Structure 1
Amino acid sequence: KYHAVLVILFVLLSNLKLVFNKYAWIALVVALLCYTPHFLWLVENEFVSIRYHLFERPNAPYDFNKYTLGFLVNLVAIFGLTFPFIYYSLIRTRSKNLFTKALLYLTYGVLIFFFISSFNRRVQTQWIIVISIPVAILAFNYMIANVTVRKWIYRLGLTNIVILLFLRVGLIYEPLFPIIYESHGNKDYMGQIQSSAGDNPVVFENSYRDASMYAFYTGKTSYSLNNVNYRPNQYSIDDSEKEVQNKKVLYVSSYLTTREFTFPRIVGDTQYANFIDDFESYRKLRCYIGKEKISLNDVDHPLKIYNPYNKNIQLDKLRFATSFLNGSKQFNEVVPTSLLPWEKDLQHLKSKDTTYFTLKLPKPEKDISPAYFRIVISENELRYGLNSAIFKLN
């Protein structure tokens, strides 16, 4: 997780002399070298994960229960029943040396950072788990000198272990679990889908979870086709799409109106499916606009579309639209959009090439005031995809 940079930041703030310490710089260089494969991956994929988290991740209006209270509940959850004595140990610990000072700066720094963040977005539990090691060290040192705290952490810690083991077993053995959980029934559910699909690949719409789970349980080919109502994921950037191109596939979606198969599940929405004899998608088509901020009053904009595929794509297979988003970058509506090619009598998007158009930006059809938009493409009557970055409207 990119939040690991907070570890470096707060440890450095605890002792600014580290700036002049050669060993600190050696540690930093070694860490960066270890990250080199990921940095190269980011460059090759247009910094997709950073761009998503910083600029494209949908949000929602502030909700105290969901955001700030949820953050506080997560602080309890990561230490379980021991949390009163863990945080008591943290509060009572004083900085006696540089190591303890670094642990305190790191812990309090991360807690304050994400507490402030909770007023803007939901803080996920794994983001704050970085405090677990420094807090465990601080609590251990404190409990060594405090008999009462040591006694209660020991008792409650053992209780934590028993409960966690019980719940872990319950995740895979359903009768032990007190509620029906999302991990239950998945093997049987994927088996039902495979019995209908046979040896044909399965394309799930808007579910990287189901696509990967199907491949895991069945060993068969699967793919997640992500549309305008969803978000990019690994299936948007890896080579999974080519494994299902021009093949007969079982297409699984909750959006289908005509349905050959119905797949109810224990937890979650019922899914429906049809066979598509010659599946063809072009979700890697990318649209680019030179401007970062655009007004709805602006009509014409230069637009370029890059075709990364090894074949030309016929324009009559494609439909173009504008997806309007609200201030929280949540989907509002799709409005069909006209693109005028610069090249006369253009019939296709050339392979491994960029084609230029003039974008006629439409007005929203709903009575809304959108804050953002993106250009989206539908191929072969599939639902519109996610084919551009998100652009801000003035």
Structure 2
Amino acid sequence: MEKTVTTVQSNKPIWFFIACWTLFNIIQSATLEIHADEAYYWIYSRFLAWGYFDHPPMVALFIKAGYALFQNEFGVRLLTICCSSIALYVLWLIAKPYRVQPKWFILVVSGMFIFNIYGFTTTPDVPLFLFTVLFFYVYKQYLERDNLKLTLLLALIIACLLYSKYHAVLVIGFTILSNPALLKRKSFWLMAAVATVLFLPHILWQVNHGYPTITYHLFDRSEAGYRIDQTLGYLPAQLAMGGPFIGWFVFYAAFRKRATDPFKRGLMVNAAGTFIFFLLNSLKGIVEPHWTLIAFVPLVILALIYITETDRPYQWLQRLAIINVVFIFTLRTCLVFGPAWIRKVEQFKSYYGFKEWAHLVKQKAGNHYVVMSEGFQNPSKYNFYNNTVTCLSYDARDYRRTQYSLWPIEDSLQHKRIYYVLNRFQQGVTTDTIKNMAGSWYAGWVDDARSYQKVQISCAQKHVKARPGQSLQFYVTITNPYPFAINFANHNAKHPVFLETCFFIHTTPVDVQQADSTFNAIQIPVGKTARYTVKVVAPKQKGLYDLFFSLRTEPFTGSRNSSYIKFTVE
């Protein structure tokens, strides 16, 4: 009886903490404008599918469910609030058997900056966080009791992990690496089979769309080359994610003791493995601090276990943790009220002024389609705040492809009068200026708009070496993915189209060469292809270039219609 009373008492501070946590997330979610990424994923929910260019579909379902109840920012974030609170409680259920004190759980968890971010911001990381916590909770039980119920439950959670974000592969892989004995369990293979079957719709989506995600991450990304600041910046960013003042101790405590059982070893391998994986990724490009979210789940559990097992008062740590929590709480409160100084911080600008901006653009554009050429962020905000999907993000050649290259928005604006919005002045195009606290934009009307953003140009050659100024030929296949026939004729066309071969060094154009007029004779029926020979002259300067083919229609800057070809001039 005494044990039961102690258990109930120990839960009271946790329930109170989670209630306060939930309430604060509700306030923040209801008062902050939509973030650019959230607006992008909101459009996901308007075009439900088994997959998307950037991510699996779980975030779209989360937003769809919340937005069905509340058609505003709060609705987009509703399930995020719920999932954050559930995840923290399940995290407590994992830590509790190790005699972790509620005081330390509250101080450490509420002081983790990365957990605060995903308490009110809806991205694919939110379901990833929830299902990662659930995975470790059920995995611990599965190690103790190998039965059908836990096997199927873990299979379902693994499938949900994969449907949340591709980083889930790291959780699965490092868990198996930490405990190879799992491979000897018959139930493990049943679990793998069930999870694969559940994830099959997304795999088929990738197959049917030409593996866009895999192609982008493995072949269509141009790296700028190694910069030491990418690696040096990675390390302090991770400490900050663990808590601006206590992050260093969380890392220290988590890896202070050796793992004594398969579950702790799984936690340690997942934490260490994920941080090392992204550290190595910093050698070839920028690593966003939040990409390691899945590592902070095992990290915080290990740190709390260490604090408990050392059985020290840690009064200095308690004071530091309180300062840490107050700092984060103050920062989040400032986000709610939006003082002038915080609106100037680059990471927070996206939360302010764009609702008014979207309405100002709408006043100019009316019911016409809108095209923007500055990434997917602002077009998504325009669509969200005007409850529409009539704004297209033009994926320019110096940017990258996005889900806008797959959605049918571009199909609908062909040969219509559109409103073109830019973040720079363009002579002969922009006649309007739109200004508010979010910034300045320039816009103008384009009659009989014509674009070929979805057209795919493929080439068998992936690596080419040439002498400076050498003439070459590329045999390309041009595919028409539109539900209507296309042609590249310029006769009687208001806006001519050009096929251009682009030599870039990362995002900087070095040389652009235009195909001759024989290209303009090409006509391609629905779903068909055409072959064409492109004549190219190698740059005169020796070096390594990214070559790709681009279709440019005035007044647009040209889209990137092919994968990169690594071009070496030697």
Q: Is this a same-fold pair by TM over 0.5?
A: yes
Rounded Cα–Cα distance in structure 2 between residues aligned with 1:321 and 1:21: 56
Q: Which residue of 2 aligns with 1:110?
A: 274
Is 1:94 the counterpart of 2:258? The answer is yes
**Other-structure match for 2:395:** 226
- Check the 8 A contact 2:343/2:349 in 1, yes or no: no
| C-alpha distance after superposition, 1:225-246 (max 9, x if no partner) | 1111111011011222123333
Q: What SS does structure 1 have at the residue aligned with 2:443?
A: strand
Once the two structures are superposed, residues 314-335 of structure 1 have per-residue CA deviations (whole angstroms, 9 ceiling, x without a partner) of 3224311101122x47543322
Cα distance change, pair 333–192 in 1 and its aligned pair in 2 (3 A)? farther
Q: Decide which of 300, 304, 317 is 2:477's aligned counterpart.
A: 304
Structure 2: give runs of 5+ residues left out of the alignment: 1-164, 491-496
2:512 to 334, 340, 343: 334
Q: Residues 38 and 332 from structure 1, CA distance in 2 versus in 1: closer, same or farther, beyond 3 angstroms?
A: farther
Amino acid at match of 1:232: R
Render the CA deviation track for 1:280-322: whole Å, top value 9, x for unaligned: 3221111111222234446223222111223332322431110
CA deviation map 1:181-236 (0-9, x unaligned): 32222112222212222222211113210111101112232111111111101101
Kept after mapping to 2: 8 A contact 1:95/1:101 = yes
Give the Cα separation in 1 of the matches to 2:289 and 2:208.
29
* Structure-2 residue corresponding to 1:15: 179
Q: 1:31 to 1:289 in 2, by over 3 A?
A: same
CA contact (8 A) 2:432 2:443 kept: yes
In structure 2, give the amino acid aligned to 1:218. N
Please state which structure has a larger fraction of its residues in strand.
1
Change in Cα spacing, 1:209 to 1:156, as seen in structure 2 (3 Å) is: same
Kept after mapping to 2: 8 A contact 1:339/1:360: no
Which of residues 151, 155, 167 is equivalent to 2:331? 167
Q: How does 1:162-201 map to 2 (within 5 A)?
A: 162-175=326-339, 178-180=342-344, 181-183=348-350, 184-201=352-369
Corresponding residue for residue 441 of structure 2 = 271
Distance 1:305 1:351 in 2: 12
Separation in 1 of the partners of 2:522 and 2:188? 59
Q: CA RMSD in A?
A: 2.6
Establish whether residue 135 from structure 1 lines up as the match of residue 313 from structure 2: no
The letter for the 2-side match of 1:245 is: Q
Instruction: Pick closer, same or farther for the CA change 1:166–1:197 going to 2, 3 Å.
Output: farther
Tell me what 2:286 maps to. 122
3-state SS, counterpart of residue 226 of structure 2: coil
Please, which of 528, 547, 557 is the counterpart of residue 373 of structure 1?
Answer: 547
Structure 1 contact 340–358 (Cα < 8 Å) conserved: no
2:232 corresponding residue in structure 1: 69
Count of residues paired in the alignment: 387
Larger displacement relative to structure 2 (142-151 or 214-223): 142-151
Question: Do the aligned partners of 1:261 and 1:272 also contact (CA within 8 Å) in 2?
Answer: yes
1:282 counterpart = 2:455: no
Report % sequence identity: 29
Deviates most, 190-199 or 96-105: 190-199
**Residue deviations 1:86-141 (CA, integer Å, cap 9, x gap):** 12211322211111111111111222222222222222112211111101111121
Q: 1:88 to 1:309 in 2, by over 3 A?
A: closer
- Whole-angstrom distance in 1 between the partners of 2:303 and 2:310: 10
* TM-fit CA distance, 1:383: 2.0
Hey, what's the Cα distance between the residues in 2 that align with 1:133 and 1:149? 24
Tell me the residue number matched to 2:87: none
Bigger proportion of residues as helix: 2
| Aligned equivalent of 2:560, options 381, 386, 391 | 386
Name the aligned partner's letter for residue 256 of structure 2. Answer: R
What amino acid is aligned across from residue 283 of structure 1 in structure 2?
Q
Unaligned runs of 5+ in 1: none
Q: Distance in 1 between matches of 2:509 and 2:216?
A: 15
Shift of 1:69: 1.5
What does the per-residue CA deviation read over 1:336-378, in whole Å, with 9 as the maximum and x for residues that have no partner?
A: 123756xxx94523332111112212333x7463422011112
CA spacing shift, 1:382–1:92, aligned 2, 3 Å: closer
The one-letter amino acid paired with 2:538 is K
How far off is 1:393 after superposition? 2.0
Q: Secondary structure at the match of 1:299?
A: strand
Corresponding residue of 2:504? 325
